[in-house]
C-alpha cells in the first residue's frame, strides 16, 4: 500500500519459514491476488523462502510449486512472480542445513537446490558468497540470477561473493543492500562504490569491476534479475520512464570529467535531485512529492519506541 501511495516501483515478497507454513500460503495468495501488477503495473510480487537452512527441502518444493500456481493465475511471461532466496551467504551454510534438516550436502548449496528441482530463470539468489565452481555452473545452466550485497557481507564478515567469476561465466548479477539489520543504509550509491573497490582490492586487479560495469549491475542487470528488463533498467524508446537525475554541481563532484566514474566513486544518494517513476515525478528538489517525510520519520520513531518497550517487557 505504501508503494502504491508514494508512486514508487517495487517487487514485494513474503518471507517464508518452515515454522509458519499455513500462514505463508495465505499471505502469498493474498499478496499475489491484491497486488501483483497493480498500481499501474508498478508493483509486482515474489515468493521468498528465506534460506535453505530455515526452509526444509519439502517446503522448498512446495513453495516453488506455489509460485508456479500463482504465476498461472496472476503472473505472465512479461510480468512473472519471481522466487527470491538467500543462498550460500556463509561458509558454514551446508552445516546449518545438516543440523536443521539432517541433510548432508554432497556438493555446494546451489547444487543442493538444483537437486530439489527449484531452480530456473525466475530465481534471484541473494548473497552467493560461498559458491563452488559447480554452483556457478548450475546458476548459468538454470538461469539463476545473483544479488550481490557487498556491504552486508562485509559488515557480517560473511566473506566476498565471487562476482567477477560469475560475470565471466555469464551469470546475471545485480546489486542489493540487504536489510537495515545488516547494512544500516539503503544507499545504492554506497553499494556501487564498495562493489567496485572490494573486488579490485581482494583480487589486486584495478581493472576488475569498472565503473561502467558496476553502474550496469545497479540498473539494467538489476532489472534483468527481477525479470523486468523489457520495461525498466535503461533509458530506451518504448520503456517506462524511470529516471533519476543527479545534481553534479557539488564540490565533491567537481570538476566533472567522467560522469559514470563520478556516479560510482563520488556521488551520494543526497545528490539525487529528481526521480521520475512511470513518467511521474516522485522526488523534486531532493524531496519526495508524494509523502510527508517528517511525518513518516515521526511514525518510525514512535514504532521504534513501542518495539523497544515490548522487548523490555518480554525480557522481564
Q: Give per-residue pLDDT as tens, 43-60.
A: 999 999 999 999 999 999
- Predicted local distance difference test score (pLDDT) of residue 315: 60
**SS3 readout for the chain:** CHHHHHCCCEEEEEEECHHHHHHHHHHHHHHHHHHCCCCCCCEEEEEEECCCCCCCHHHHHHHHHHHHHHHHHHCCCCCCCEEEEEECCCCCHHHHHHHHHCCCCCCCHHHHHHHCCCCCCCEEEEECCCCCHHHHHHHHHHCCEEEECHHHHHHCCCCCCCHHHHHHCCCCEEECCCCCCCCCCCCHHHHHHHHHHHHHHHHCCCCCCCHHHHHHHHCHHHHHHCCCCCCCCCCCCCCCCCEEEECCCCHHHCCCCCHHHHHHHCCCHHHEEEEEECCEEEEECCEECCCCHHHHHHHHHHHHHHHHHHHHHHHC
Cα 23 to Cα 261: distance, rounded to the nearest angstrom: 46
- 109 prior amide bond cis, ω within 30: no
Can you read off the three cell numbers belonging to residue 313?
A: 517487557
- Predicted local distance difference test score (pLDDT) of residue 316: 52
Answer whether 72's CB lies under 8 Å from 29's CB.
Answer: no
Give, rounded to a whole angstrom, the gap between the first and last alpha carbons of the chain.
Answer: 35
Model-level pTM?
0.94
Residue ranges of domains in the chain: 2-238
What's the fold here for domain 2-238?
A: TIM Barrel (3.20.20)
- Predicted local distance difference test score (pLDDT) of residue 152: 98
Is 154 exposed, middle or buried (CB count within 10 Å of its CB: 0-12, 13-18, 19+)? middle
Parts of the chain with a pLDDT under 50 = none
The pairs formed by 199-205 with CB atoms below 8 angstroms and a separation of 24 or more are: 199/160, 199/163, 199/164, 202/160, 203/164
Q: Give per-residue pLDDT as tens, 137-164.
A: 999 999 999 999 999 999 999 999 999 9
- Predicted local distance difference test score (pLDDT) of residue 266: 98
Can you read off the three cell numbers belonging to residue 173?
A: 548479477
Amino acid at each position: 500500500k505504501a508503494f502504491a501511495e508514494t508512486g514508487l516501483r517495487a517487487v514485494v515478497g513474503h518471507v517464508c519459514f518452515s515454522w509458519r507454513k499455513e500462514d505463508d500460503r495465505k499471505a502469498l495468495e493474498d499478496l499475489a491476488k491484491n497486488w501483483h501488477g497493480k498500481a499501474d503495473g508498478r508493483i509486482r510480487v515474489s515468493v521468498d523462502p528465506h534460506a535453505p537452512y530455515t526452509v526444509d527441502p519439502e517446503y522448498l518444493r512446495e513453495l516453488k510449486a506455489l509460485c508456479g500456481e500463482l504465476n498461472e493465475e496472476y503472473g505472465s511471461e512479461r510480468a512473472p512472480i519471481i522466487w527470491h532466496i538467500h543462498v550460500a551467504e556463509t561458509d558454514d551454510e551446508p552445516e546449518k542445513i545438516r543440523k536443521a534438516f539432517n541433510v548432508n550436502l554432497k556438493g555446494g548449496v546451489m547444487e543442493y537446490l538444483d537437486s530439489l528441482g527449484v531452480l530456473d530463470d525466475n530465481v534471484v539468489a541473494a548473497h552467493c558468497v560461498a559458491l563452488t565452481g559447480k554452483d556457478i555452473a548450475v546458476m548459468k545452466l538454470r538461469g539463476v540470477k545473483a544479488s550481490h550485497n557487498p556491504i552486508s557481507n562485509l559488515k557480517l564478515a560473511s566473506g566476498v561473493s565471487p562476482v567477477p567469476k560469475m560475470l565471466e561465466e555469464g551469470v546475471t548479477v545485480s546489486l542489493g543492500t540487504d536489510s537495515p539489520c545488516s547494512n544500516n543504509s539503503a544507499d545504492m550509491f554506497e553499494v556501487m562504490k564498495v562493489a567496485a573497490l572490494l573486488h579490485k582490492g581482494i583480487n589486486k586487479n584495478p581493472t576488475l569491476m569498472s565503473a561502467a560495469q558496476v553502474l550496469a549491475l545497479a540498473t539494467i542487470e538489476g532489472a534483468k534479475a527481477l525479470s523486468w528488463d523489457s520495461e525498466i533498467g535503461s533509458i530506451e524508446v518504448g520503456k517506462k520512464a524511470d529516471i533519476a537525475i543527479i545534481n553534479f554541481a557539488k564540490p565533491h563532484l567537481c570538476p566533472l570529467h567522467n560522469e559514470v566514474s563520478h556516479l560510482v566513486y563520488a556521488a551520494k544518494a543526497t545528490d539525487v535531485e529528481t526521480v521520475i517513476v512511470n513518467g511521474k515525478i516522485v522526488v523534486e528538489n531532493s524531496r519526495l512529492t508524494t509523502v510527508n517525510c517528517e511525518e513518516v520519520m515521526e511514525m518510525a520513531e514512535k514504532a521504534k519506541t513501542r518495539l523497544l518497550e515490548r522487548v523490555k517487557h518480554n525480557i522481564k
